[in-house]
Amino acid sequence: MLVLPDRDTAEEVAEALGERFELDEEPRIVRDALAGEDDAEDAQWLVVLRDEEESLDPEALDVFVGEWDGWREEP
């Protein structure tokens, strides 16, 4: 799961992922509201990846998502 600061960035990352990495399926983009916050500004956007065969290099994903001021989290 990749965590990004806004929706536009999450959409760019989801598109770029397919260009840079070999993915089993299209990543999903999900809005993650911060606990206790109703304001749309107080949200993170997640790009959810399935990697059942564990073929994606975690360090490469860290560097990749860092280019967009995001980070990777394990589910």
Structure tokens that stand for 56 in this block: 């994606």
Biggest CA-to-CA distance, the chain: 37
Tally of domains within the chain: 1
| 16 neighbors 57 (Cβ within 8 angstroms) | no
Cα–Cα distance for residue pair 45/30, rounded to 1 Å: 6
**Tens of pLDDT, residues 33-69:** 765 555 555 689 999 998 888 889 999 999 999 999 9
Q: What's residue 41's pLDDT?
A: 59
Query: In terms of residue numbers, what domain contains 24?
Result: 2-72
Instruction: Quote the pTM value.
Output: 0.83
